[in-house]
Structure 1
């Protein structure tokens, strides 16, 4: 049984010495001296054992991807030959366990060369460089042991990456010194053209406080706001994590950094001798602070994950002192970096926990956050009231950004969609209120009944509102109201919602429901065909949840493919709801019994393939997919499928038929369609919670799988969906039952891998992705590149 949450980021100290003598370095110049007793380099057997432990950890937790950061000291001291072997071992051992690997390295740039860059390009390693700004800023701290400047070497490194190896350029880290000119530092970083950057507060504690030239003033906030103002005035030419983390937190999103926000930290350090440590910054607190007593030689990462030091970083507000817990901006700053909250016990009355203090930068963080909020007030407003409360936790964001999503991740999307549907219903109530149309009495009565049912039978109402096409109906009503058009039949559908809810709640009620195109529709249940002469409405009498229409001649109930592991007990084959006609393909009419039987056998067969072979997708599909709408099959025999942007939880598909190839088995074809279309549903739900791109960019972009160019969101949707398609064929190469189908899968994998990887580059180069959008696309590319060793 898994006892603690998994790690997803692993920092490997492959070298423990450095070719610079920076006087602000927390590894060599701070309180911890453990580096003196570590081997200079991580031995091959330690690399191998670390890779095996990570693979074991990933398999235990079914992690789709992990991030590995090679660090030091200065990792390039390892030398190209030893570096190559280290990268090969890490990638091959972990990926053989079925887990994608995102490799990164952070360097001071002194030894970066074309040989190293070619090696990193070969192994898809992203390279970050430390650059403290212009020469004056860099020379203040980043010098060789003999006092010589390292600025020329750092500039050469970023120029090499910027000009010749932009595909492996990860960005720039800059440590703040308030004595440096903030604008000059910013311009030097900007001129390095980093894909992203971060400005780091120097590690300090209450026992060893930060430099201040004017005590009592928030000089670090002033310095960073000067940078923010210049960056903002230049239309934010690259993401700066210190700022985007605050902006994301305003919108209820994870901060993406342990320095800000309340997201749990999932990082562990593997030292050169194989010992496991907590975050490196703790070296600034006291000697031995990061140590855990665990090592890869003797312990699993699951064992280490239960260490109190890791556990303390998962408790959010509960881990903070009382001052922080009472602070109105704690959800944004998160109390700051844990290291900066340290104060050495000096009195018998000192807190038992030496980290039970506000950050030594508390005032600066408050001024920085409030300063950014004042400068961006309009853009920080959430688009719907529930957005902030239902933000994406770091682990959920990590999974979804990489293209996956387990049951827990999808449940977060489900909760947001449920809140969104409740909000939409309230808006429909408001739009219907001042009406005088011919159906107003029916509408008013239905609203009153729904409010009563909401008070006593919320679960039943939520089941009905959870029907995917309820959102399509509600948005259609609101669009009509906004444009001044009144469609009585649409508003009268409130009566259908009330009747379906009353039946599910098992209550007694009389509900007047509209007749639409000769039928009475009850969402989630089915329809009763009453004919064109039945009038405009029918009064339904419901007693204890029973209603005569459910067994009457002409009743067409929603059929369900029973799948016990699904949250609703199966998948509805929806061929009755009038609002399902929102797909790009024609929807099928009510299916004859023989066609319905084919669907009810094909869905479990497809699910068997997903549950057996596609573990990265199956739990999420079971948690979120409720409905399949049969579409009219293509006369040409091509696969037909669709996802309606506003019908979360549903997909449309034509029932696959057997073709001339073994690869065209209906079960595998339907399994592929389910992965493909549910990818669209997931990303649509994410886009309801967060902006991944500039909605005002109307340009069209190349989509490798289509002849016509696509708008940015269309390309993003296609890319996200085709990551799932690529993964399906990647796995199918080995699991298909016969050689012909495996050969077909091999060809399909190669085709879709190339198309989708190319699309991530088009997206990244568009210039219109938000910082979170860039993180999504980078994560998708990481997932794809994790499969390159098996292309």
Structure 2
């Protein structure tokens, strides 16, 4: 590993780009993306080291930490490359570059710059080399990326300086000689990995020595000096997993550092069980076919929102996100449904692939103006967001397409496949018509269009197809009612930026709103009651009547008005109705009943 640039251009072979463009990607294609990410991180590290030169710090200087990393790389290049490619390493580099450019804030710069010392110590542990570095401790704890967290016994709160000595894979962590106090800690982190537990751990004996706290077989409340990162195994009988369940690293999030949020035994066990069931639903990668996922390609799952297992987790994923700086990592709030987790894994990994492609190629010239309709969002999006959505949801559509062959999920899968292929094709049309795609971007979006056009010709169960089409129109109609201002009186509707379908004039009072229909329409109610339920069941007349009742008290309520417009269009699909669907924001609200 070297911080010096190698003067050789990256050239992606056309067959690999042809696999990635429509949303797929073989093992070879993903390996190429990782090579690109490695080169990018080395360049960014070189820039960061230059900006940190001369930084006043009580820790080992950045140059000394970098020399330790390079020495470790000579002895264990693959292990150190894995550390360099760790998602949290990318997150730290990006955060530090924002710090030195003044676009992010935090503690004194030396504190966060000292994470390079943590990386150097970890690299020495992997390589079996020796080092002796002054490192930053937070509440007495040292994060070892990819391994876990070591905490000095009896350490005080806040940021302090510790000494980390590594010899033959063994770490000794002490307070500096000039600041005696906490007892030293010795541990062999690289040989003490921990998988997510499967069975309750035995309680330790009351007279157990301190070393018992370093063993993950001890309950979490006792393991307060050494907390190894857990890994998720893809299959019940597999060996040690390769997917980190990262609840400790400060740079595991999307931007600012996060405190450790250790999962308890039951929550970690729930993650393991759910992950195994989820990845069993994702087919193996197959060239250019979108929606397939090898779980080994995921580098980290970051649990979000809770550390203790609730009585019942929500069935769907409430929060998920991916950072372009943290390739192959995904932040997820655990659901109870393995199908929901599998869909999210596919979705977020698509974002990682596209982010890596954007690091290699300029795919579009984006003015960053948020004015475009995205069928999976409540707010207008810019072109880059639109491209990310199209790429991610094409993968999701492929996931549901594969699942239509599973009898247990065929009905729901048919609906989601029909919905996502239709929505993605609409967005792909917008991208192709934008005039802002580069040659590479045009090739990628054309690849998406080719796959989607083929999928749109595939037969789908008619009731599921009808619900999907209705749900798609409902979302667009409500989106325009909530986000698009009506054209001012006397202005031609096709004049620029006045609210025309492809160039809307946005409302200044727009606000977030919940999309409650996309998943509600997946399974129609056998005994419909509300307006939405009647519409999902294929009874627009009953739905229209109930929407009118709802609008009687609030004639401009967007959810009910969107339903009323769509139900009426299904009953009377003429030219006037098509105009109403194209520009629903121009529809006059139903008159309120007279006040008695």
User: Shorter-chain TM-score: what band?
Assistant: 0.5 to 0.7
Distance 1:763 1:515, change over 3 A: same
C-alpha deviations, 1:701-726, integer Å up to 9, x for none?
Answer: 11122221101100100010000111
C-alpha deviations, 1:735-777, integer Å up to 9, x for none?
Answer: 142xxx3222222222212111111011111111112111111
Aligned to 1:685: 356
Instruction: Determine the C-alpha separation between the residues in 2 that align with 1:534 and 1:704.
Output: 46
Find the residue that maps to 2:282 and give its secondary structure.
helix
Cα deviation for residue 397 of structure 1 reads 0.5
Contact conserved, 1:621 with 1:678, CA < 8 A, in 2? no
1:301-340 equivalence runs, <5 A: none
Aligned to 1:609: 281
Contact conserved, 1:528 with 1:555, CA < 8 A, in 2? yes
Aligned to 1:471: 90
Distance 1:410 1:498, change over 3 A: same
Distance 1:583 1:391, change over 3 A: same
Work out which of the two has the higher radius of gyration on C-alpha atoms and give 1 or 2: 1
C-alpha deviations, 1:417-463, integer Å up to 9, x for none?
Answer: 1122222222222222122x233545343233223334444333212
Q: Which runs of 5+ in 2 are unaligned?
A: 172-185, 190-210, 215-223, 461-596
Distance 1:524 1:432, change over 3 A: same
Cα deviation for residue 554 of structure 1 reads 2.2
Contact conserved, 2:243 with 2:300, CA < 8 A, in 1? yes
Aligned to 2:206: none
Cα deviation for residue 518 of structure 1 reads 4.4
Find the residue that maps to 1:609 and give its secondary structure.
coil
C-alpha deviations, 1:52-111, integer Å up to 9, x for none?
Answer: xxxxxxxxxxxxxxxxxxxxxxxxxxxxxxxxxxxxxxxxxxxxxxxxxxxxxxxxxxxx
Instruction: Determine the C-alpha separation between the residues in 1 that align with 2:156 and 2:450.
Output: 57
Q: Which runs of 5+ in 1 are unaligned?
A: 1-383, 658-665
Count of matched residue positions in the alignment of Structure 1 and Structure 2? 396
Whether 1:408 aligns to 2:81 is: no
1:503 is matched with which residue: 108, 122, 125? Answer: 125
Cα deviation for residue 577 of structure 1 reads 0.6
Find the residue that maps to 2:138 and give its secondary structure.
coil
Aligned to 1:432: 52
Find the residue that maps to 1:528 and give its secondary structure.
strand
Aligned to 1:759: 427
1:641 is matched with which residue: 308, 317, 320? Answer: 320
Aligned to 2:168: 544
C-alpha deviations, 1:459-500, integer Å up to 9, x for none?
Answer: 332121121111111122222223398611111111100110
1:274-423 equivalence runs, <5 A: 389-423=9-43
Between 643-652 and 460-469, the greater mean CA deviation after superposition: 460-469
Find the residue that maps to 2:254 and give its secondary structure.
coil
Aligned to 1:353: none
Find the residue that maps to 1:515 and give its secondary structure.
strand
**TM-score normalized by structure 1?**
0.47
1:650 is matched with which residue: 307, 324, 329? Answer: 329
1:488 is matched with which residue: 96, 103, 110? Answer: 110
Whether 1:716 aligns to 2:387 is: yes
Instruction: Determine the C-alpha separation between the residues in 1 that align with 2:92 and 2:360.
Output: 20
Instruction: Determine the C-alpha separation between the residues in 2 that align with 1:446 and 1:695.
Output: 38
Instruction: Determine the C-alpha separation between the residues in 1 that align with 2:314 and 2:342.
Output: 20
Distance 1:667 1:387, change over 3 A: farther
Instruction: Determine the C-alpha separation between the residues in 2 that align with 1:537 and 1:468.
Output: 25
Instruction: Determine the C-alpha separation between the residues in 2 that align with 1:682 and 1:557.
Output: 29
Instruction: Determine the C-alpha separation between the residues in 2 that align with 1:566 and 1:407.
Output: 20
Instruction: Determine the C-alpha separation between the residues in 2 that align with 1:478 and 1:461.
Output: 21
Instruction: Determine the C-alpha separation between the residues in 2 that align with 1:609 and 1:401.
Output: 23
Aligned to 1:450: 69
Instruction: Determine the C-alpha separation between the residues in 1 that align with 2:255 and 2:362.
Output: 24
Whether 1:632 aligns to 2:298 is: no
Aligned to 1:667: 338
Instruction: Determine the C-alpha separation between the residues in 2 that align with 1:631 and 1:747.
Output: 28
Find the residue that maps to 1:415 and give its secondary structure.
helix
Question: Aligned-residue CA RMSD in angstroms?
Answer: 3.1
Instruction: Determine the C-alpha separation between the residues in 1 that align with 2:417 and 2:375.
Output: 15
Instruction: Determine the C-alpha separation between the residues in 2 that align with 1:588 and 1:490.
Output: 15
Aligned to 2:550: none
**TM-score normalized by structure 2?**
0.61
Distance 1:759 1:771, change over 3 A: same
